[in-house]
Chains A and B, each alone.
Chain A
Amino acid sequence: MSRDSSAETSGHVAASDRKIHELTTELEQTRAENDLLRASLEQSYGYIRGKVNEMLTVVGTKMLKPEELDDQSLLEFDPIGIVADTFRHVLESHRKLNQELRFAHDEIQAIFDSVGAALLVLDPEGRVLAYNQKTRDLLLRRDQDILGEKCRTVVCGMDHRQDTRCTFAKVMASRREQHVQDWNLGEDNFTVVGRPLFGEEGEITHVVMAYSDVTARKKAETALLESLRETQEANAKIHGILRSAADSLLVTDAEDRIVLMNERAEQLFGFCLAESGGKPATDILPSRQLIKLLKDPDISSDQILVRDLPLHKEDDKERIYQARIAVIRGKDKEYRGRITLLHDVTREREVDRMKSDFVSTAAHELRTPLSTILGYTDLLLTQEEHAREHLHEYLNLIQDKAENLAQIVGDLLDISRIEAGEALQLSFEPCDMEKICQQVVNEFRLENPDHQFIFEFRDGPILADADRYAVIQVVENVLSNAVKYSPRGGEIRFTARTEEGRCRLSVQDNGLGMLPDQVERAFEKFYRGDATNTAISGTGLGLTIVKHLVEAHGGEVALQSLPGKGTTITIFLPLIQ
C-alpha cells in the first residue's frame, strides 16, 4: 500500500467517525424529543380524562376508567363533545326556564301590586321583606317605608307573641296556612290569611300575609241579617195570619204551580204544599170547576172573580165555597199567578134557602087564615040573612084565625128580637109546671079531640123558677109540633120530675120522628124537617124560640127522635129555691 493510499484511508475513517458521532448525537436528541412528546401526550390524555370526569361528576355519574375506554378510543368516542352538547341543551333549557320564571315573577308582581288585599312578605323573624300599595292604604297609620321593620311594630303596634290572634305567630307555630276571621284594626274589620313558604331543607323561609278588608261586607252582612230577621218576622206574621184565617187560601204562580196554601186549604184539598211537589195545581186539585176558574184567561188585573163552588171536604160532605180569585202581576205588569180565597158559605146559602122557604111558608101560613077571615067577613057583609043565623059561629072562626095570625106575627117578632140580640124581659115567679101544661093541653084538646094527652107528674107539684108566659109559649110550641107531626089519635105523654136540682119536663109523641141530620138542625131558625110538605103548617121558628127562651132561664133543651117512632123533647128549667 502506498503512502498516499494509506493517508487517504485514514481520512475516510476520520470522516466516518465524525458522521457516526453526529448521527449518535442527533439520535439522542430525537430520543429526548420523543420522550418529551410522549410525556406531553400522556399529560394531554390525563387532562382530557380529568376534564371528562369533572363533567361526569357534574351530571352525577361515575368517573370514566382507562380500562373502560383506552386513550385512542377516548378521542374517537369524544365524551367531552357528548357532555358539552348535553350542557348546551341544559343551559338552553335553563335559559327558557329563567325566562318563564321572569314572566311568572312579573305576573306575580303585577298581581301583588294590584290585588285588593294588603300583602306582606315576612321573613321568619317577622321582618317585612316586601309589601304592596294596599298595605299602605289599609294598614299603615302614616306614609313610611316599612322594609326591614317587624310587622308587629308597624301593623299591630304590639308584640305579636302577646297576641293570641296573631296570624304570623300561628303560621310559625303550626307551619301551616292559617285563617283568622274578624281581625280588627281600629274600626276596620279584616280577614287575615298567613301562608308559609319553605326552603329546600323544609325550613320556613318566608310567610306571606294577606289582609282583606271586610268592613263593608260585615256591615252589609249585618244589614242583610237585620233584613232577613225582619223578613222572617213578617213571614211569621203572614203565616200566623194565614194559619188563623178561617178561609182557605191558595196562591199559584205563572205556571199554575201551588206556591202557598194555608192549613185550611190543606184540610180542604187533603194534601199539603210539600205534597203538591211543584206540579201544576190544575193536575192535582180535585175540583174541575175550581181548575176552570184558575185557568180562566179573562180575569183582568183589577177584577176579582167571585163564584160559588161545590167542594167535597175530607169527610166527603159537599159544601158550598165562595171562590174569590184575583190575578197577581209584577211591577212590569207581567202575569205572576193568582190568589184564590175559598170561603165556606154553605151555612149562608142554607140560610138563604131557608129564608126563601120561609117566605113561601109564611105566605102560605098567613094566607090560609086571611082567606078564611076574608071569606067569612065577605059572607057577613053580603049574605046578611044567612049570616045572621050563623053570626056567632062565623065570628068565632074569624077570631080563631085572627089569633092564628097573631101567633105567627108574634113568633116573627120574637125571633126578630132574638136575632137583634135584645135581652128577653123575663119576670121570674114560681111556675107550677103541671098546671101550666094542663092549661095549654086544654086549649089543644078542643082542636085535637082525638089525641090522647097523658100526664105523669109523680113527684107532686114541681115549681120552676121561670117567667110564666115564657113557659106557656115553650109548652105551646113543643105541643104544637107534637100534635102536628103525630097521627090523629096519637099519644102525647107529659113526664115531669126533679133531677139534679132542676125541673125536667119531657114531651113525647109517637109521630113521624126525624132523621139524624134533621135532629141536628131542628133548632135552627126557619128549618123545617120537610119544607116541601105544605100540608103541615109552620114557620120553622117554634123550636128556635123554645131554645132561646129556655136558655134565657139558664136551662137546657134536648131532642131525641127516631124516624117512624116519634120525638121526645126534654126541657130543663131551674127549680124555685
Chain B
Amino acid sequence: MQTEIIEKDIRGQICPSSLLLALREINRNFDRLANGVLEIVVLTDNRDATGTIPTTVENMGLHSEVEKIAGYYRILVKK
C-alpha cells in the first residue's frame, strides 16, 4: 500500500499560529495518519515549532522527524 503525503507550508507563521495551523491539518487527517496511509510534512521557519509540534504529536500517539534544511525546517508527521 502506497503512503500518501500531504505537505503543509506554514513558513512565515510564528508561534502559536504555526503550531495551531499544523495541529489543524493533523486533526483533519488524524484517522488516516493513525492508520499509516498518510504522512504530513510541515515546512516551517519558526524554530519554536520544531519543539512544540513534535512534542504534541508524540502525545497524540504519532511520531515525528525533524530535518533542518537551508533556511527552514522539515517536520515529518507519521504513524
Query: Could you tell me which A residues sit within 8 Å of B by CB distance?
Result: 56, 59-64, 68-69, 77, 79, 82-83, 85-86, 89-90, 92-94, 96-97
Q: With the chains together, A355 CA to B60 CA distance in Å?
A: 107
- Known contacts A60-B55, A89-B27, A92-B61: A79-B15 contact under CB 8 Å: no
Q: B37 to nearest A CB, angstroms?
A: 17
- Known contacts A90-B59, A93-B61: A62-B23 contact under CB 8 Å: no
- Known contacts A60-B52, A60-B55: A90-B16 contact under CB 8 Å: no
- With both beta carbons as reference points, the residue of chain B lying nearest to A94 in the complex is identified as B59
| 8 further A-B pairs in the complex, CB-CB below 8 A; given A60-B51, A86-B60 | A56-B20, A60-B56, A62-B48, A69-B17, A79-B16, A79-B20, A86-B26, A93-B60
- Is B52's CB under 8 angstroms from A59's CB? yes
- Known contacts A62-B48, A82-B24, A83-B23: A93-B59 contact under CB 8 Å: yes
Q: A260 to nearest B CB, angstroms?
A: 63
- Is B60's CB under 8 angstroms from A61's CB? no
The reply to whether the CB of B19 lies closer than 8 angstroms to some CB of chain A is: yes
Q: With the chains together, A253 CA to B45 CA distance in Å?
A: 76
> Which residues on B sit within 8 Å (CB–CB) of A89?
27, 30, 60-61
Contact sample, A vs B, 12 pairs, CB 8 Å cutoff:
A60-B52, A60-B56, A61-B48, A62-B48, A63-B16, A82-B23, A85-B23, A89-B27, A89-B60, A89-B61, A93-B60, A96-B61
> Which residues on A sit within 8 Å (CB–CB) of B56?
59-60, 86, 90
Q: With the chains together, A93 CA to B30 CA distance in Å?
A: 12
> Which residues on B sit within 8 Å (CB–CB) of A63?
16
- Is B16's CB under 8 angstroms from A61's CB? yes
Q: With the chains together, A79 CA to B59 CA distance in Å?
A: 18
- Is A86's CB under 8 angstroms from B16's CB? no
Q: With the chains together, A79 CA to B16 CA distance in Å?
A: 10
Q: With the chains together, A92 CA to B62 CA distance in Å?
A: 12
Query: Could you tell me which B residues sit within 8 Å of A by CB distance?
Result: 14-17, 19-20, 23-24, 26-27, 30, 48, 51-52, 55-56, 59-61
Q: With the chains together, A89 CA to B16 CA distance in Å?
A: 19
> Which residues on B sit within 8 Å (CB–CB) of A69?
17
Q: B64 to nearest A CB, angstroms?
A: 13
- Is A62's CB under 8 angstroms from B16's CB? yes
> Which residues on A sit within 8 Å (CB–CB) of B23?
82-83, 85-86
- Is A97's CB under 8 angstroms from B61's CB? yes
- With both beta carbons as reference points, the residue of chain A lying nearest to B55 in the complex is identified as A60
- Is A86's CB under 8 angstroms from B61's CB? no
- Is A82's CB under 8 angstroms from B20's CB? yes
Contact of B27 among A59, A60, A64, A85 (CB under 8 A): A85
Q: A101 to nearest B CB, angstroms?
A: 13
Q: With the chains together, A96 CA to B34 CA distance in Å?
A: 13
- Is B16's CB under 8 angstroms from A56's CB? yes
Q: With the chains together, A89 CA to B61 CA distance in Å?
A: 8
- Known contacts A89-B61, A93-B59: A77-B52 contact under CB 8 Å: no
Q: With the chains together, A82 CA to B15 CA distance in Å?
A: 14
Q: B5 to nearest A CB, angstroms?
A: 20
> Which residues on B sit within 8 Å (CB–CB) of A93?
59-61
Q: With the chains together, A462 CA to B20 CA distance in Å?
A: 136
Give the most central of A61, A90, A97: most B CB within 10 Å. Answer: A61
Contact of B60 among A64, A77, A82, A90 (CB under 8 A): A90
Q: B74 to nearest A CB, angstroms?
A: 19
> Which residues on A sit within 8 Å (CB–CB) of B27?
82, 85-86, 89
Give the most central of A68, A82, A83, A89: most B CB within 10 Å. Answer: A89
Q: With the chains together, A85 CA to B26 CA distance in Å?
A: 10
CB-based closest 5 A-B pairs: A93-B61, A85-B27, A61-B16, A89-B60, A61-B52
> Which residues on A sit within 8 Å (CB–CB) of B24?
82
> Which residues on B sit within 8 Å (CB–CB) of A77?
20
> Which residues on B sit within 8 Å (CB–CB) of A94?
59
> Which residues on A sit within 8 Å (CB–CB) of B60?
86, 89-90, 93
> Which residues on A sit within 8 Å (CB–CB) of B26?
86
Q: With the chains together, A564 CA to B61 CA distance in Å?
A: 111
Give the most central of A62, A86, A97: most B CB within 10 Å. Answer: A86
> Which residues on B sit within 8 Å (CB–CB) of A60?
51-52, 55-56
